Amino acid sequence: MNNLPNCPKCNSEYVYEDGNLLVCPECAYEWNPAEVAEEEGVVAIDANGNKLADGDTVTLIKDLKVKGAPKDLKQGTRVKNIRIVEGDHNIDCKIDGFGAMKLKSEFVKKI
């Protein structure tokens, strides 16, 4: 089996070939591996000044109130496999016990 790269958007390992393109079935992103161009894209910096990237694991540095949730996110909560997105809340992730969540990078630190 061919060793294909992970998806550059969502870091999924389930990438497949479709003609000369690579396709991610999870986020529907398509790209040509021959045109590998480094894009600066969105940059997210954690509370300690470290650059965050897709797939990183981070920890919350303070308790965060979650609107509409019965309990808060506690300091020290580990968040795995983050995704960097545009906007004010620039981290998209899934937190065990809460589900899908958007966080601000200033409230996390890279592990």
Distance CA 28, CA 55 (A): 18
Q: Closest Cα to residue 105, out of 40, 41, 58?
A: 58
This prediction's pTM: 0.62
109: number of Cβ within 10 Å: 16
Q: What is the largest CA-CA distance in the chain?
A: 49
Per DSSP (E only), the strands in the chain are 16-18, 21-23, 30-31, 44-45, 51-52, 58-60, 78-79, 83-84, 91-95, 99-103, 108-110
> Using CB atoms within 10 A of its CB, is residue 29 exposed (0-12), middle (13-18) or buried (19+)?
middle
pLDDT tens for each residue of the chain, 111 residues long: 467 888 888 888 899 999 889 999 999 999 887 665 444 467 888 998 888 999 999 999 999 999 888 889 999 999 999 999 988 899 999 998 889 999 999 999 999
